[in-house]
Structure 1
């Protein structure tokens, strides 16, 4: 996680140096911002009024550790708040180093976990007030953060967590193997028992499949475990690429929320249409050399569709299928090469481990 630590007093700076050291030891990327007059060997100077610096860091960091009065933090951050999906984790510490208060984005942003880490490393008292944590219950947004899952519909998160807190039945069923166990209020059932499950309360499903079920209280947790391989002609319009990806997902009955990346050959890495669609979908566009693609063909004989026409044009027998394997080694092809006007698309799916790549960001 990218974390900014800000201290504004002499004692706070001393604590801030300890905080920064502890967080770096946990592999976080840390910036320490302190008043210029208190600078020692550590830290960068606060380059403006505190309100302006906080606004900038709030929008650019995944986490903030603010060593100052909680009231100051509340007043300065209040105008910046958007929603728990995008707001960073905020932990407030007193300059005496007694408490680490999870202040904002406790579950999805990771502030609760950050407060616990500071408590373990520095001997401070973590202050965590989210109801599920107080009752030692699972929270679906914490699960989503831990395993890189997208919540759908997001509005249901509060209702599911409230059901857990209030002792109502919540049933969870995962198509992918995740280390999720039974706990008070949360009943975990195998995927092959889903058809027979008719819970009276909430049903939480971890799957990338588009499904229609006879149940009116469903929260989907979408794993980010799909890669779309793209081959295209030069100059192809963004709407054709977008339509091909949408069509491929519909053919495979998979949710677009589960896409983690687009992939293509290096010859198309700067194709405006591809870059536009990747930006609109907020996905990385990964590119691979023809040498890498050719090696995948040789190591997997008979697996991928081969086109002599494509080989004559760019030097390899195909793009969309092999680049999915390069982007997600160990994934399986769930939709082979499909043709659309000016575009080819293939989809690959990972069964585990996708969340490991997101940790530490």
Structure 2
């Protein structure tokens, strides 16, 4: 959950504009006045519409704990001229959300991190761009300090692409026949990306295809970064699903209704649909299928509760898509 906090009436109007942007990109959010604001400890991030000094004095100490786990903190002035990320700018997404809001609101993202102001991509940001495991804190500090002085060798899997021109300004880019990334002397394993898909019977291929395309767009994921698709076995023969997977040159994994329901027993955060339960005997398809797909590709070496649902049940004309990463 991303919490948007305001003080004045002008700030309230801006909060709802920001909320609409987050809703379009399918991020969960809440809006509240500062008098009702509480830090619960499980937030993804905070967007404060107020003076920066208020945030620093009243809230930062309570929010910050661990560089690799902290939620992001962004401050926006009431005229939305400046969007300033304060905390967890790379791993937490502070810079990403600041640039997203700046583009949509017409403001300016004020980035102060050393790598960004020098037009470089740090190892922590690189891990977010390519959906890799999080680097160790000491490696982040060491590698990022080094790239400010000179280029570092970067090895990518041969079928991956450079998706940000700043990478060429930061690294000597090489390719290898491995499924992990090497930055200097640091190996970062990839996290598996699986799209869980569900649909009404007989859904058209174009509808499934473009829903998948939009799901990838709103999470800024390149099609070649997708490791697989997943659905329930009784939907595995749907032409719309099969032809879409083929167009993406992907592989489809199917799971039984029992396996799907087992995920609902483990995770209380998944959406349950009475309609789907009535018609299929399960509470949903795309969310649990994406989780099961990641677990399968990881050969069981991940707890289903640790799979991140970076996109939850994106719905469009009888199609649902969820994206699991782990």
Corresponding residue for residue 293 of structure 2? 328
**Contact 2:193–2:323 (CA<8 Å) still a contact in 1?**
no
Determine the C-alpha separation between the residues in 1 that align with 2:298 and 2:12. 53
Question: TM (normalized to structure 2)?
Answer: 0.58
CA distance in 2, matches of 1:358, 1:101: 29
C-alpha distance in 1 between matches for 2:255 and 2:174: 38
How big is the shift at 1:8?
1.5
SS of equivalent residue, structure 1 residue 84: coil
**2:152 aligns with one of 155, 170, 195:** 170
What residue in structure 2 maps to residue 78 of structure 1? 61
The counterpart of 1:191, out of the listed 153, 156, 176, is: 176
1:268–1:111 Cα change, 3 Å = closer
1:152 CA displacement: 4.0
TM-score by length of 1: 0.52
Quick one: which of 80, 101, 105 aligns to 1:122?
A: 105
2:192: which partner in 1? 225
Asked if 2 retains the 8 angstrom alpha-carbon contact of 1:112 and 1:128, the reply is yes
Q: CA deviation at 1:267?
A: 6.6
Does 2:48 match 1:66? yes
Quick one: structure 1 residues 132 and 34, their matched pair in 2 at CA, closer, same or farther if it must change by over 3 Å?
Answer: same
In structure 2, the CA distance between the partners of 1:355 and 1:67, relative to structure 1 (3 Å rule), is closer
Q: 1:122, 1:101 → 2: CA distance? A: 13
Is the CA contact 1:153–1:219 (under 8 Å) kept in the aligned structure 2?
no
Judge conservation of contact 1:100–1:115 (CA < 8 Å) in 2.
yes
Larger radius of gyration: 1
* Alpha-carbon separation, structure 2, partners of 1:166 and 1:84: 23
The answer as to whether partners of 1:153 and 1:220 remain within 8 angstroms in 2 is no
Correspondence for 2:87 among 104, 108, 115 = 104
Deviation at 1:187, TM superposition (A): 0.9
SS in 2 for 1:173: strand
SS at match of 1:141: helix
Contact 1:138 1:183 in 2 (8 A): no
How far apart are the structure 1 equivalents of 2:144 and 2:260? Answer: 42
Residue of structure 2 equivalent to 1:339: none
Equivalent in 59, 67, 90 of residue 73 of structure 2: 90
Distance in 1 (alpha carbons) for counterparts of 2:291 and 2:64: 39
Residues 189-235 of structure 1: CA deviation (Å, up to 9, x unaligned): 1215x9xxxxxxxxxx617xxxxxxx9x62122212299xxxxxxxx
SS in 2 for 1:60: coil
Aligned length: 232
Contact kept in structure 2, 1:66 and 1:91, CA below 8 Å? yes
1:5 and 1:269, CA in 2 relative to 1: closer, same or farther beyond 3 A?
A: same
CA contact (8 A) 1:109 1:145 kept: no
Task: Supply the distance in 2 between the matched residues of 1:19 and 1:31 (Cα, whole angstroms).
Answer: 10
The match for 2:213 is none
Q: Alpha carbons of 1:161 and 1:226: their partners in 2 closer, same or farther (altered >3 Å)?
A: same
CA distance in 2, matches of 1:149, 1:172: 14
Aligned partner of 2:214 in structure 1 is none
SS in 2 for 1:155: helix
CA distance in 2, matches of 1:358, 1:78: 33
Instruction: Kindly report which structure 2 residues correspond to 1:51-62, keeping only aligned pairs within 5 A, or say none.
Output: 53=38, 55-56=39-40, 59-62=41-44
Structure 1: gaps spanning 5 or more residues:
36-45, 195-204, 208-214, 228-262, 285-291, 293-323, 336-344, 348-353
Deviation (angstroms), 1:100 = 0.6
Structure 1 residues 164 and 355, CA, compared in 2 at 3 Å: closer, same or farther?
farther
Q: Compared with structure 1, are the counterparts of its residues 334 and 130 closer, same or farther at alpha carbon in structure 2 (3 Å cutoff)?
A: closer
Q: RMSD value over aligned CA atoms?
A: 4.5
Q: Deviations over 1:147-178 (max 9, x none)?
A: 321134332012111211222x3111123633
